Chains A and B, each alone.
Chain A
Amino acid sequence: MHEVLHHLGYLAGGLGTTLELSLLGFAGAVVLGTLLTVMRVSPILPLRVLGTLYVEVFRNVPLLAFLVLFVFGLPDAGITYSLFTSEAICLALYFAGYVCEAVRAGINAVPVGQAEAARAIGMTFGQSLALVILPQAFRTMVQPLANVFIGVVLSSSLGAAVGVSELIGRTQWLDLQYDEPVPTFLLATVGYVLITLAVGLLAGRLQKRMAVRR
């Protein structure tokens, strides 16, 4: 038991890695997902097709299969990144599809009158999207995006399966080392529950503050 307590710092480091991975992956996913949404609502057909195809493909690939392909397959084609970078990239690419769906739902939640008004005062497609629609859409998307973020946090654990030393990876290592399954797994559980609880609370606060009053 006390060997495990001795390694609390080690586990906390794993928690830090998990958070880093999640934040990087989520940030990438939000940028890419928004871009995909813009592509999907644009008047340019090839971009629309590409965006739709991307979302369809990435919604149907298991993340672990993609991760394994990226980590063990792509080096054959001369594409090699560190394990941490690989996983961050995979998370970003994978969850971009989910972010795209959330943003699209958010855009659809903005009343049509807003877009019509933007058009009526002569804004272009890009202007009405960037200045009128998206700012309002993001406000209604706090909760869905928080869910995506929790998904990223939970999925970042898959890195342990390919050798990234994040919270689960370190838990497993400690367990193998000291044969103390109860405290190690309990600590990991507490770590994840704390993150999800914190994200849920933060999202609730944010949503209240950002709600559009109409």
Chain B
Amino acid sequence: MTGPNRVLFDAPGPRARRRIRLATALSVLVIAGLIALGVHQLARHGQLDHARWQPFGQWPYQRFLLQGLVRTLKAAGMAALLALPAGALLALGRLSPHRVLRLAAGGFVELFRSVPLLLVLYVFLMGIPRAGYTFPVFWELVIPVVLCTSALLAEIFRAGVLALDRGQSEAGYALGMRRRQVMWLVVLPQAVRLVVPTLVSQLVSLLKDTTLGYVVSYPELLNQGKVLGSYTHDFLQSYLSVTAIYIVVNAVLSQLAEALERRGKRRPKAGAAGTGPGLPGPRTPESVGVEALRTT
């Protein structure tokens, strides 16, 4: 509720207040009606029966799902661990003065940004084994996720580097630093701090990507949900539980990203330490117009 949103309706007078109250009551009624309709639909087909939900209150079933969650986190963690440095290196490659390196990194990033993750996954699942290489299931899931995510992360890192005030690297050069020193000692530390919130929110979509374990039969959360669903014959309940777990875990991650963003805003901004009062502050990655967020 910032910006013009507040201006769209100014302090309402008595008549407008009455209208708003009426609309509020009406919308509550409509929302309640929709919820009731949904519950009725579920109840009519016996989906709310105690017997159907009862297994999900028992520890063995919960443990089964939690094991899936642990594997999801493991795959996501490993993918993040590999994709973060890979993304940073790709970004450096795209910004490098060497033409060959720049073209190679650029080609990699553009290719993996415009191809669906599932396609890369099928290549690893069906294409590469034909050539005689087989991976364990864990890596069949993790490697494609790393390939696609590192391309996205590279764009985020690059946006961070480009968003940094030019004066920073100029100051570095003025001190007699070499290109590499400027990059590693001046630009990168500040650029990374600038993009941390975006990186964390990208981790949410990485965690979502691991659901493709469902396709390669890696027993992560969604796959465990499928197994549990076919065991209890209650697919709806099983998938609803799985969805709820995903929402909780990702909401926690999103909150973390927002907290980091707030903290970044409260502190003197990264890179602003050297800028005088009359100079423009650092630009944000968004203001540079690089939108790297594509999600599956």
Contacts and interface: CB of A to CB of B under 8 A. Distances in A.
Contact of B296 (A77, A154, A182, A195): A154
B247 A57 contact: yes
Contact of A60 (B27, B130, B204, B215): B204
A168 B113 CA distance: 16
A107 to B, nearest CB: 7
Contacts of A144: 291
Given A60-B250, A133-B8, A65 B242 contact: yes
A154 B116 contact: yes
Interface residues of A, number: 68
Interface stretch (A1-9, A23-31, A82-90, A113-121): A113-121
A175 to B, nearest CB: 6
B254 A192 contact: no
B130 A112 contact: no
Interface in A34-73: 41, 43-47, 50, 56-57, 59-66, 68-69, 72-73
A59 B246 CA distance: 10
Interface in B1-58: 1-5, 7-10, 12, 20, 23-24, 27-28, 31, 41-42, 44-45, 47
A17 interface: no
B259 interface: no
A181 B120 CA distance: 12
B240 interface: yes
Contacts of B42: 77
A172 B246 contact: no
B295 A151 contact: yes
Interface residues of B, number: 65
Interface string A145-188: 00100110111011011000000100110011001011001001
Interface in A173-214: 175-176, 179, 181-182, 185, 188-189, 192-193, 195-197
B243 A43 contact: no
B15 to A, nearest CB: 12
B123 interface: yes
A158 B7 CA distance: 41
Given A68-B214, A154-B117, A185 B236 contact: no
A181 B27 CA distance: 54
B127 interface: yes
A111 B7 CA distance: 11
A12 B289 CA distance: 34
Contacts of A168: 116, 118-119, 122
B236 A192 contact: no
Interface of B: 1-5, 7-10, 12, 20, 23-24, 27-28, 31, 41-42, 44-45, 47, 111, 113-119, 122-123, 126-127, 130, 204, 207-209, 211-212, 214-215, 222, 225-226, 229, 234-236, 238-240, 242-243, 246-247, 250-251, 254, 289, 291, 293-296
23 contacts: A46-B24, A46-B28, A47-B27, A59-B250, A60-B247, A61-B208, A61-B250, A62-B246, A64-B296, A65-B243, A69-B240, A72-B235, A76-B234, A108-B4, A108-B5, A147-B293, A154-B114, A155-B116, A168-B116, A171-B119, A185-B119, A189-B111, A197-B114
